[in-house]
Amino acid sequence: MAYDLQLSHIGKVYDNGTPAVIDFNLDVDKGEFIAFLGPSGCGKTTTLRMIAGFESITSGDLLIRGRRVNDLQPEKRPTSMIFQNYALFPHLTVRQNVMFGLEVKGLPAAEANRKVDRILDKLGLSDVADIRPTRLSGGQRQRIALARSLVVEPDILLLDEPLGALDANLRKSIQNELKLLQRDLGITFVFVTHAQSEALALSDRIVVMNAGRVEQISPPRELYTRPQSIFVARFIGANTLISGSVRGTQGGHLAVETAFGTLLAEPSAGMPAAGAAASIVLPAEAMHVLPATMPEAEIRASHGANLVPCRITRLQLVGHILQIGMVLPNGEAVTLEGHADKYRDTLSAGSEAVVAWNPSDATLIVQ
């Protein structure tokens, strides 16, 4: 079966010589929700615009449902795009805005009206159909933009930071609606964002980009648990990086010589050579903080084989969450959050403690 969307060695160099996208490869199944995530200027929008047909492709092949579309006009592609500012026509009513794409396609009026009614109803816009969008809220305008893109029944919906203009609360509720709608319609979504939380909440897979290149393509959880590069480890989640050199295998894990002694970890990909310089990526969620008075053997048995001494510098209760500030032996300050119940009365500011974690919760990245 053909993929819904395929980018094969896609590259983009702008006329001024800027290489914006370099060797981008991605196969997308029908109905997948894909997010392009990365810092400003990493090439997310350029890639989205190449898929839409608004930007020419310098190299590589773009396929939609198995057909090469590199040179197809945007309106001939089975794609629809939503922009951050929604780009609604202020002088048209909500209904006219949504109708616009169908009129361009020359759909008979009766059929067009039926489709518009259905999508307005689905997105809860029937009551405001005859109002101009300028009089409506950000959330409603966002829905109109969605309705306008969906009414043309695209195979692939392209969304460029569509929630960027909304305040935090509204953003959350629209995120949920968007995810439900996407599941319901079964349409492939490609979503550009620089907000990690948004990508993590919505997507089936996330493409992390950095300086025009794809760093990693993974389901959200895997980006956390198995980052494949230092960039991803620093960009996603709250990770502590411990550098060292690979010594070999030990008990099914990789043993790494570090400033804190020998620590064990899982490789991110393949088996690195002994002696290779590497970093252990330790997610905050994987760390357990225990009083230094607890016997080492007991800690290893209950909380994992890796131990590093630390000193607690700060404890702060925020609702049911305890924020723990600590310093590692090399002077590095680390903050992590844990359930207050888990740490009740076991830690105190200024005291010596131990950080413990399970080797399989930490990833080794070779540099």
**Interaction site with ligand ATP (CB under 6 A):** 14, 16, 18, 20, 38, 40-46, 194
Beta carbon nearer to ligand ATP, 22 or 123: 22
Q: How far is the CB of 55 from ligand ATP (least distance, A)?
A: 8
Closest contact distance (angstroms) between CB of 326 and ligand ATP is 34
Considering the complex, state which of residue 92 and residue 211 has its C-beta at the smaller distance from ligand ATP: 211
Q: Please identify, using beta-carbon distances, which residue of 19 and 309 lies nearer to ligand ATP.
A: 19
Least distance CB 17 / ligand ATP (angstroms):
9
The residues near 345 (Cβ < 8 Å, ≥ 6 apart) are none
Distance of closest approach, residue 16 Cβ to ligand ATP, in angstroms: 5
What is the closest distance, in whole angstroms, from the C-beta atom of residue 209 to ligand ATP in the complex?
Answer: 7
- Tell me whether residue 39 or residue 329 sits nearer to ligand ATP (CB atom): 39
Task: Kindly tell me which of 44 and 141 has the beta carbon lying closer to ligand ATP.
Answer: 44
Amino acid letter, residue 269: A
β 321-327/33-37 pair status: unpaired
- Pairwise CA distance, residues 221 & 296, whole Å: 31
Instruction: Determine the Cα angle at 231 with ends 226 and 235, to 5°.
Output: 80
The residue among 38 and 359 lying less far from ligand ATP, judged by its C-beta, is 38
Q: Which residues of 8-46 are buried (b: 16+ CB within 10 A; e: fewer)?
A: eebbbeeeeeeebbbebebebeeebbbbbbbeeebbbbb
- Considering the complex, what minimum distance in angstroms separates the CB of residue 21 from ligand ATP? 7
> Which contiguous run of DSSP H or E holds residue 48?
helix 44-52
Show the tokens assigned to 110. 């009766």
Return the number of the residue (7 or 315) whose C-beta is nearest ligand ATP.
7
CB contact at 8 A, 260 and 242: yes
DSSP 161-193: STTTTS-HHHHHHHHHHHHHHHHHHT-EEEEEE
Query: CB–CB of 38/236 below 8 Å?
Result: no
CA nearest neighbour of 198 among 232, 227, 236 = 236
C-beta of 101 vs 212, nearer to ligand ATP: 212
Q: Are strands 352-357 and 288-291 parallel, antiparallel or unpaired?
A: antiparallel
Rounded to whole angstroms, the Cα distance separating 88 from 349 reads 55
* Distance of closest approach, residue 286 Cβ to ligand ATP, in angstroms: 30
Residues making up the chain, counted from first to last: 367
Q: Considering the complex, what minimum distance in angstroms separates the CB of residue 94 from ligand ATP?
A: 28
Strand order in the sheet with 333-339: 288-291, 352-357, 306-318, 321-327, 333-339
Q: Which is nearer to ligand ATP, 122 or 194 (CB)?
A: 194
What is the C-alpha to C-alpha distance for residues 190 and 26, in angstroms, rounded to an integer? 12
Rounded to the nearest whole angstrom, what is the least distance from the CB of residue 146 to ligand ATP in the complex?
20
